[in-house]
Structure 1
Amino acid sequence: MHKVIDLKVLYFGTPVVLIGSRNEDGSANLAPISSAWWLGQSCMLGLGNASQTSANLRREGECVLNLPSSAQVDAVDALALLTANPNISEMRREQGYRHERRKFEAAGMTELAGELVRAPRAAECPVQLECRLEAATPLAGNERCTAFEVKVVRAHVEEQLIVPGSGHYVDPVGWDPLIMKFCEFFGDGRRLAPSRLAEGWQMPGRLPGRLPGRTPAATAV
């Protein structure tokens, strides 16, 4: 039997993306999001207007979508409550956010140069999509967020993930994306751990527990 409820969160399950972009001083930024979907060679990104990534996208007109596998869950979680924007709202401070410009170092990831865009790639991510901004559309009824449409202009894929002999297709069995569902990480068909976001957003569930056999997340520097 179904029950009518007022859902507070609608994150039913989407892949995590680490958006690489350039700050106004030329330094590299790396930000995790899970509001992303693809159609053809385009991707739609949902971002808060107060984020540094939003400002970088509007100014630079480009980014790199780095797709982590489930093996990078700790690196992603290390970035969860960091922002390169020094102007942090009171609400975000209460959720646990703090200012950090050295995002690649905080995640323990290696910065690589893009080939067609200035935005940085993350070497450890099996898939890296260089993109250019096509459009930025305010969300109806939500003045705090924007939908950014980007076009993929070059794709870098770990060779072992390419279907042998195809040259153009990713092996859906070999590719194990990191998935975010209701502020918890999933991969390889199993629950990995709650995100650090879960506590700040006051999500119910099996918190704050980490699953047996997992090492603590990397500490931001």
Structure 2
Amino acid sequence: MHVRSYPAILYFGTPVVIVSTKNPNGTDNLAPISSIFWLGWRCIIGIGASSQTAKNLLREKEAVLNLPSASEVKAVNFLAKTTGTNPVPQSKVLKGYRFEEDKFEIAGLTRLPSETVKALRVKECPVHMEVVVKAVHNLAGDDRVQQGKIKTFELKINRVFLDKSILMDHDPNRIDPDKWKPLIMSFQEFYTVGKKIHQSTLAEISESLYHSNDRKPDQEEYQ
């Protein structure tokens, strides 16, 4: 039987992403988020407008999306209640956040240079996506209390780096879902995926049919 319910959050299960951006003073900011989805080589993220990540995205128009696997959960936890904004916004003070300038250091993560953006990649994450901002929208513009507090960013993916451990054998352009164990956030708790439970009819469709014009046509491996 279903009952009427009013959950405070609706995080039914989405991947965790560590967003890397550049601060105004040139230091590096890392922020774990889980409000994200992809279509082709574009994605949408949602983030609080007062966050340092949002400010950096608005200013620099670029970032790196680093996807941790289940193995990086401790590092994500170290970052979870930190902010690059100083002083800490009151809304985050109430939730126990603290200011940290060097988030790579506190999380024990390693910097890697990017190829198309200034923001750095996180070596330990199996997936890196260099992105640029293509559009910004305010969420809940119809609500005077909420308007301006959350922004959604449309990001175009410029470059993808994948750890060989999660690739299909002999195919550098396909991820093996049996090898990839993403870190999942569900109602503020961490999970990952298990064994495949059933054959999917969508898997009968060749991945090549989902080709997007945003993929790099100038590089032979993306043809």
Is TM (by shorter chain) over 0.5? yes
Counterpart residue identity of residue 115, structure 2:
E
2:173 counterpart SS class: coil
Cα shift at 1:159: 1.0
Cα distance in structure 1, aligned partners of 2:7 and 2:93: 24
**Are 1:186 and 2:191 counterparts?**
yes
Q: How many residues align?
A: 190
2:104 counterpart SS class: helix
Tell me the percent identity. 44
Cα shift at 1:113: 1.0
Cα shift at 1:35: 0.4
**Are 1:152 and 2:170 counterparts?**
no
Alignment of 1:6-25 (within 5 A): 6-25=6-25
1:30 counterpart SS class: strand
Q: Is the 8 A contact 1:112 1:121 kept in 2?
A: yes
Alignment of 1:25-36 (within 5 A): 25-36=25-36
Structure 1 portions without partners, runs of 5+: 191-221
Structure 1 or 2, whichever has the larger Rg, is 2
2:10 counterpart SS class: coil
Cα distance in structure 1, aligned partners of 2:89 and 2:131: 29
Q: Is the 8 A contact 1:20 1:28 kept in 2?
A: yes
**Superposition RMSD in Å:** 1.2
Residue 48 of structure 1 corresponds to 48
Cα shift at 1:188: 4.1
**Are 1:131 and 2:136 counterparts?**
no
Cα distance in structure 2, aligned partners of 1:136 and 1:93: 26
Cα shift at 1:61: 0.5
Cα distance in structure 2, aligned partners of 1:85 and 1:30: 12
Cα distance in structure 2, aligned partners of 1:35 and 1:178: 13
Cα shift at 1:8: 1.2
Residue 100 of structure 1 corresponds to 100
Cα distance in structure 1, aligned partners of 2:176 and 2:190: 22
- State TM-score, norm by structure 1: 0.83
Residue 177 of structure 1 corresponds to 182
> Which stretches of structure 1, 4 residues or longer, exceed 3 Å deviation after superposition?
none
1:54 counterpart SS class: helix
Q: Is the 8 A contact 1:70 1:188 kept in 2?
A: no
Cα shift at 1:95: 1.1
Cα shift at 1:91: 3.0
Give per-residue Cα distances to partners, 1:48-90, cap 9 Å, x unaligned: 0010000100100000000000010010000011001003233
Cα distance in structure 2, aligned partners of 1:130 and 1:114: 7
Residue 114 of structure 1 corresponds to 114
Cα shift at 1:167: 2.4
Structure 2 portions without partners, runs of 5+: 196-223
